[in-house]
Amino acid sequence: MKVDLDKSSDEDLVKMVLENPDSLTFLVNRYWEKLFWFVKRISYFSSEDIEDILQDVFIKVYKNINSFDESYKFSTWIFQITRNTTIDAIRKNGAHPYEIGLDQGDLKLMLAENGISAEKQLINKEKLKEVESILNSLPFKYREVMVLKFLEEKNYEEIMDIVKKPKGTVASLLNRGKTIFLEKAQKQGLFLDN
């Protein structure tokens, strides 16, 4: 069966999977890369390890698709499964996530979302490494919500559903994370003065 992923909604694809489990391939094709980058941004895992995590994610999706609550967005549900599977993998390995992988586009998006104007951004490979270092130094609880908000472009409700925390807590984590990030970046002279 041929499906146009650009024209099919997540809900359409979920219905297809419920009717024919082989249709899971369409959800895998839609979400694999997005989830790969999400895991890469919140963890230290290698590409091979991330692929293993995503295989586990899609096995869980396959096993639990019948219990998917349609009052949620499918993207929120699969990001929550991915987050939990990643945290389980971190615990299993007895380590804590310590590196985030950013590219130039991620960095520009994150800085713009944090009110840093384009003319104040000094973006080059050296600066990118310094910003990655700052993000990697943030506690996981701040880094995770910042990645979801600024790089995955999730709204507050989606973040609340993914991390299972109330809106006030999510807002507080975001504000505190942004404050720490911007203070450290300013101290390291990563931005041009006004």
- CATH for the 10-92 domain, from 2.40.37.10, 3.40.50.12780, 1.10.1740.10, 3.30.413.10: 1.10.1740.10
Residues in the chain, overall count: 194
Average per-residue pLDDT for the chain: 81
Cα 16 from Cα 36, distance rounded (Å):
23
- What CATH architecture is 104-187? Orthogonal Bundle (1.10)
Q: What is the largest CA-CA distance in the chain?
A: 58
- Render pLDDT for 79-117 as a digit per residue (tens, 0 to 9): 999 999 998 998 887 654 444 555 555 555 555 555 554
Cα 115 from Cα 109, distance rounded (Å):
10
Can you give the pTM of this predicted structure?
Answer: 0.72
Backbone φ and ψ for 8, nearest 5 degrees, come out as -95, 135
Cβ-contact 14, 68 below 8 angstroms? yes
Residues 6+ apart with CB under 8 A from 131: 102, 107, 185, 190
HSE on the CB side for 136, CA within 13 Å?
16
Cβ-contact 97, 43 below 8 angstroms? yes
- Render pLDDT for 163-189 as a digit per residue (tens, 0 to 9): 999 999 999 999 999 899 888 888 887
Q: Where, residue-wise, is CATH 1.10.10.10 in the chain?
A: 104-187
Burial-class residue 166 by CB neighbours within 10 Å (0-12, 13-18, 19+). Answer: exposed
Q: What is the pLDDT of residue 192?
A: 46
Cβ-contact 111, 121 below 8 angstroms? yes
- Quickly count: other Cβ atoms within 10 Å of residue 8's Cβ: 14
Q: What is the pLDDT of residue 112?
A: 59
Give CA torsion, residues 104, 107, 108, 113, to 10 deg: 160
Q: Where, residue-wise, is CATH 1.10.1740.10 in the chain?
A: 10-92
